[in-house]
Amino acid sequence: MRTTPRSRLLLIELICDFIIFSLCAVVCVTLLSQARIMSRESSQLTEAVYIAQDAAERYRAGLPVYSSYFTDGTPDTSTLDPLLKSSVPEYSVSLSEEGALVQISVFSSFPMEDPVPLYTLTVRKEEAAS
């Protein structure tokens, strides 16, 4: 009769260990998923900064500013129908001039419902030297 209470105690201890282990696993998975989201957002922001800098340099040099860029940061220079292209640009660039200021905004192409810029760069136009 003494073996029955010990086996019950062992079973209760194993169940408690399993519950604690499960809770720790849930916390770890949650932290890993949040870290992945933060990493993806950080990568997007870095790409947006590079694209805005490229657009500002092209604008300053008098070259055309591309309106869309792919994930790796290369501009979309094709004139093909978007339905025929093998990949869709991930970023779009908006350029607005207001007096002496030029505002370059980089947007993600995928969340179409509420376009919020990933990064906005505001630069001042250079005055022509006389």
* SS3 track for 96-107: EEECCEEEEEEE
Report if residue 129 sits inside a domain.
no
Facing residues of 101 across strands? Answer: 98, 124
pTM score of the predicted model:
0.67
Instruction: Report residue 26 as tokens.
Output: 């849930």
* 82 and 108 Cβ atoms separated by less than 8 Å: no
* Residues 92-103 pLDDT 10s: 888 888 888 888
Q: Would residue 94 count as lying in a domain?
A: yes
- 49-65 pLDDT, tens digit per residue, is 888 888 888 888 888 78
Q: Starting at the edge strand that comes first in sequence, how are the strands of the sheet with 68-69 ordered?
A: 68-69, 91-98, 101-108, 119-124
Has residue 39 been placed in a domain?
Answer: yes
Q: What is the pLDDT of residue 84?
A: 47
Q: Rounded mean pLDDT of 74-100?
A: 68
Q: How many domains would you assign to the chain?
A: 1
